[in-house]
Structure 1
Amino acid sequence: MDQHGNSAKRALITGTSGFTGHYLTQELQQHGWEVWGLGQTPKSESQAGPDYYVQADLNDYATLQAAVHQAAPHAVFHLAAIAFVGHGSPADFYQVNVGGSRNLLQALAGLPIAPQSVLLASSANVYGNAAEGQLAESTPIHPANDYAVSKAAMEMMASLWMDKLPLVVTRPFNYTGVGQSADFLIPKIVSHFRRRASQIELGNLQVWRDFSDVRDVVRAYRMLAEKQVTGTVVNVGSQALHSLQDVLDTCARLTSHQMEVQVNPAFVRANEVKTLCADTSRLESLVGARTLIPLEQTLQWMLS
């Protein structure tokens, strides 16, 4: 029994009300974890979610420290971040993604009993547009926007805590699922097909990317924590490449709806890398072989 009188393993998730946090909460609960959520806003009573919820701002150290002590977690999943690359204020990326993450690590390092696993969600965006093809964790990082720079900076800052906390840093490639904001590409395409729009504006259709199902991503996160993988950086992806044209063709086939695609030059990124794919051999070596949900199944789920 622990100080809360419980025997279940306790997970603390930051950003629990976000897209990924929602699915990670479900994944952990289904595997016998007690989930504590941490977020800035009061928990809405209507939403199913974590077993317990603590309200704290990552940039308010005193309340964050109190919340972390209250949860006394066995595992921490740090998902809270400003993630939309087109977000208005660049300074926010640094304040939340670097400063807030540092506050969290400092609070965790001060716990009477250290967690057994602290997973920090970074992003494959840190690789930038310099390298092509299948990228391993050893690929030099080359972040190309403020979001990616903030994640790279978070990784570098976290290295200062490697000797104090059992850290694992994940670099997820693109992933999607029901409930992801239409600011992101695949939900945007899916929403156009769902409302049977006559046309859609996109950028370059001949870019090939590694897309995962959010449910596979959170399963990888749970397995890394349960195996107490620490002191390393791990790519999370599918190793399967799909072009945007593939995604459009699959949605058209699943919905029997055709849409005119207009290429908007504003959406075409200069010198965009043609193929970006995760090398996930390190992940497999750590958690074992994974059976992944094919992209078509993910799209079917989102379209329905």
Structure 2
Amino acid sequence: MRVLLLGADGYLGRRVADRLLLDRDLQVTVLGRRDSADIRFDLSAGSPGALARFLDAVAPQVVINCAGATYGTPRTLVRANTTAVATVCEAIRRSREPARLVHLGSAAEYGPVPAGAPIAETAEPRPVGPYGVSKLAGTELVLASGLDAAVLRVFDVVGPGAPAASLFGRLAEGLRRALEQQEAQVRMPDLSAYRDFVDVRDVAQAVRAAAVSAATGVINIGSGHSVRAREAAYLLVRASGFEGVLTEEPRTVVVPVQSAGEPGEPRGAEARPLGEPVPWRQADVRTARERLGWRAHTPLEESLGDVWLETACRV
């Protein structure tokens, strides 16, 4: 089977590429912006027509889109997560033999949900913030494209290769620095939220399963379990051997405060605690099991141990 992989330089894309290249039944071509790609192309700036010509040359049976942005300005996020997806969908439609599309979405598309229950694919998405909104827009474009397409709505990814700006990438680097400099404290943002952590290697397996399946529509990819971020953080602390204090800094918002003496007279401003906008996330993974034959296998402790091992060995 011929596969065209988009976004192989990203955190998820690298693991997906590793998994696909191990499969002798797959012939993988990588399209991206860097010199390491087989085909150089910028999805956020290139035209659908130009991409369609590359598709006709490669003639993939499946296109896997791991490209996108997690951080950046709203404009950057929209270009990477929405405009680029529109380009991919239109290019596939224009190609001589339209390929199947497997697109990576995000659990951030769901936004706040009632705590205590797993989130099914039928839940009404209500994303908060530019990232979730831009990812949902990309998903809607795929679903409305008329293509043979599946959207893997990936939950909270952990494991080796975690970006420095991610929760556990930041914590691992903070622990390494604290151990090297003999510091007694590591500061982190609020860790009270519950998340469904899934190993990046398990996600790569899910992408491979979706590529060779006939499943369409949205499919949740998660562990099916919710864990408080604080508990997960302490697994990483334990793996590092750090014996100091992990201090959480709650999110705050600056609000004006009125004078107690004269109504309406401003006294200044103060920072007040700001609640986590999405305090709970847990995937309902029955669709992935039934339609992809997939489930997560890597324990969270192993995922975080590998995060620490990679960080500790970094030169």
TM range (shorter): 0.7 to 0.9
The answer for the alignment partner of 1:4 in structure 2 is none
Shift of 1:118: 0.7
Does the Cα contact within 8 Å between 1:56 and 1:67 map onto a contact in 2? no
**1-side partners of 2:80 and 2:240: how far apart?**
40
**2-side partners of 1:292 and 1:189: how far apart?**
24
Report the residue type matching 2:4 in the other structure. Answer: L
The answer for the alignment partner of 1:278 in structure 2 is 283
Unaligned 5+ runs, structure 2: 253-272, 310-315
Q: Does residue 157 in structure 1 map to residue 144 in structure 2?
A: no
The answer for the alignment partner of 2:66 in structure 1 is 79
Q: Does residue 119 in structure 1 map to residue 102 in structure 2?
A: yes
Deviations 1:274-296 (A, max 9, x none): 33111101110112253510010
The answer for the alignment partner of 2:11 in structure 1 is 19
The answer for the alignment partner of 2:172 in structure 1 is 190
Unaligned 5+ runs, structure 1: 1-8, 44-51
Give the count of matched residue pairs.
281
TM-score (norm 2): 0.83
Deviations 1:145-170 (A, max 9, x none): 111111111122223312xx211011
Percent identity among equivalent residues?
25
The answer for the alignment partner of 1:93 in structure 2 is 77
Shift of 1:136: 0.6
Alignment of 1:230-269 (within 5 A): 230=216, 232-266=217-251
SS at match of 2:196: strand
Shift of 1:269: 5.1
**1-side partners of 2:294 and 2:61: how far apart?**
25
State the superposition RMSD in angstroms. Answer: 1.9
**2-side partners of 1:200 and 1:269: how far apart?**
21
Does the Cα contact within 8 Å between 1:239 and 1:279 map onto a contact in 2? yes
**2-side partners of 1:274 and 1:94: how far apart?**
25
SS at match of 1:57: coil
| Larger mean Cα displacement after TM superposition, 210-219 or 129-138 | 129-138
| Larger mean Cα displacement after TM superposition, 118-127 or 201-210 | 201-210
SS at match of 1:272: coil
Q: Does residue 145 in structure 1 map to residue 129 in structure 2?
A: yes
Deviations 1:169-221 (A, max 9, x none): 11100002222211000111122233425322222222221101100001011
The answer for the alignment partner of 2:115 in structure 1 is 132
* Bigger radius of gyration among the two: 2
The answer for the alignment partner of 1:34 in structure 2 is 27
| Larger mean Cα displacement after TM superposition, 106-115 or 144-153 | 106-115
Shift of 1:113: 1.8
Q: Does residue 174 in structure 1 map to residue 178 in structure 2?
A: no
Distance 1:122 1:290, change over 3 A: closer
The answer for the alignment partner of 1:48 in structure 2 is none
Report the residue type matching 1:258 in the other structure. Answer: E
**1-side partners of 2:81 and 2:235: how far apart?**
35
Report the residue type matching 1:110 in the other structure. Answer: R
Report the residue type matching 1:263 in the other structure. Answer: E
Report the residue type matching 1:53 in the other structure. Answer: D
The answer for the alignment partner of 1:224 in structure 2 is 210
SS at match of 1:276: coil
| Larger mean Cα displacement after TM superposition, 256-265 or 235-244 | 256-265
Report the residue type matching 2:76 in the other structure. Answer: D
Does the Cα contact within 8 Å between 1:55 and 1:67 map onto a contact in 2? no
TM-score (norm 1): 0.86
Does the Cα contact within 8 Å between 1:57 and 1:64 map onto a contact in 2? no
| Larger mean Cα displacement after TM superposition, 289-298 or 218-227 | 289-298
Does the Cα contact within 8 Å between 1:229 and 1:286 map onto a contact in 2? yes
**1-side partners of 2:248 and 2:188: how far apart?**
5
Report the residue type matching 2:50 in the other structure. Answer: T
**2-side partners of 1:291 and 1:216: how far apart?**
6
